Amino acid sequence: MTGRVAGKVALITGAGTGIGRACFKLFAEEGASVVGIGRTQATLDESLAEVAADGGQGMVIAADLSKEADVQRLVEQTIARYGRIDILVHAAGVGWSWGEKSPGSMNDVTTTTKEKWDEVLGINLDSCFFLCRAVVPVMQKQGKGSVVNVSSISGMRGMPTAHTYTASKGAVISMTKAMAATYAKDGIRTNCVAPGYTDTPMIRSVMGVFDDPQLAEHITPMKRAGTPREMAYGCLFLASDEASYCNGVILPIDGGTTARQ
């Protein structure tokens, strides 16, 4: 590896699984001290063990990012350990599979209750707000920082269902642009990766669609799902100094799905 984020402290949410775990491992490989955040201690411990086995440096903190107190606690613990936060990659969130755990949460507007609306927005959007509100002042004091939010191509276009999910991801994109316009003067860049279909637990139950060549081609010109590692490379680029003139970028990594729009 090339040490593209060597010497930096990277706070990465969703680090226990999927894209977040891929970022946690890749950023460590590229020289960062990584702080992994997630809901489940066991999966976080697995991620940390993989990083340590490769010689990486890091720590993990279990937290509920929809709760402001938890977010403040994890930021304080990171500062206590490392003294700074150079990078925030916010990859935590729920998607299609959440509908299996929480029936009704991935419905359309007319069949979504206020309870389910609040639930999904709390996990996907409030978490982004709480994290950025806590981390940006740290970066302002440092005079430099990089924020990468992980949204979805679903936030860029309409979906026939999962309306609350779509709304939350669209809001993350808008928040990213607003932050980019506001905090560039403080040396803080804010960008966003918008994954397409990615082979993670979030959509694993519907991955069978790629076994049908016609359906696969309808989903994306590349006829396959992306990998978490492919999404992590996009996050790494935007977080690194290689992207020093990237601010307010919304980067689809989707095999060409949105190219048809």
Q: Which of 82, 165, 183, 197 is catalytic?
A: 165
Across the beta sheet with 33-38, the strand order is: 57-62, 33-38, 9-13, 87-90, 145-150, 188-195, 250-253
Query: Is beta strand 87-90 parallel, antiparallel or unpaired with respect to 57-62?
Result: unpaired
Residue 201 pLDDT > 80: no
CATH topology of domain 9-256: Rossmann fold (3.40.50)
What are the respective helix, strand and coil percentages of the chain, to the nearest 5? 50, 15, 30
pLDDT band at 192 (very low <50, low <70, confident <90, very high): very high
Please report, for the chain, the start and end positions of each structural domain, with discontinuous segments joined by +: 9-256
Structure tokens at 170: 């669209």
165 is catalytic: yes
Predicted local confidence at residue 132, as pLDDT: 98
Residue 1 pLDDT > 90: no
| Beta-sheet strands, E only, within the chain | 9-13, 33-38, 57-62, 87-90, 145-150, 188-195, 250-253
Digit-coded pLDDT (tens) for 40-53? 999 999 999 999 99
Between CA 162 and CA 145 the distance in angstroms is 33
